Amino acid sequence: MENKIKIKYLGYLTDLSGKQYEEREVNGEETIEDLLPFLKKLRSDDYIIVVNGRGADLKSKVKGGDIIVLLPQTGGG
């Protein structure tokens, strides 16, 4: 069983994380908040979390083989 997750950062989140892409080892199920604590410093409406093509949040659990994409919230009026 694969125990790595893939994380892709887009937009200004690339600057905050210092990278565009990374792989991380996970032990069992972990939350996104555990893996990426810097996100807690941001307002939750400033970014979107997608796990395996579905919307997620900081409390969402991830496991080996999952793909996380973090992208900035866009909007306007």
pLDDT digits (tens, 9 = 90+) for 13-55: 998 889 999 999 998 889 999 988 888 788 778 899 999 999 9
**Three-state DSSP state, 36:** coil
Query: What integer pLDDT is reported at residue 37 of this predicted model?
Result: 83
Which is nearest to 62 in space by CA: 26, 37, 36, 38? Answer: 26
Strand partners for 62: 30
- Assess whether pLDDT exceeds 80 at residue 1: no
Token couple for 70: 């973090």
Q: Taking the complete model, does pTM exceed 0.85, yes or no? A: yes
Please report the domains of the chain, with CATH numbers, ordered by start residue: 4-72 (3.10.20.30)
Among the ranges 1-10, 36-45, 54-63, which has the highest mean pLDDT value? Answer: 54-63
- Assess whether pLDDT exceeds 60 at residue 77: no
Whether residue 64 contacts residue 2, with contact meaning beta carbons closer than 8 Å, is answered with yes
- Assess whether pLDDT exceeds 90 at residue 2: no
- Assess whether pLDDT exceeds 70 at residue 76: no
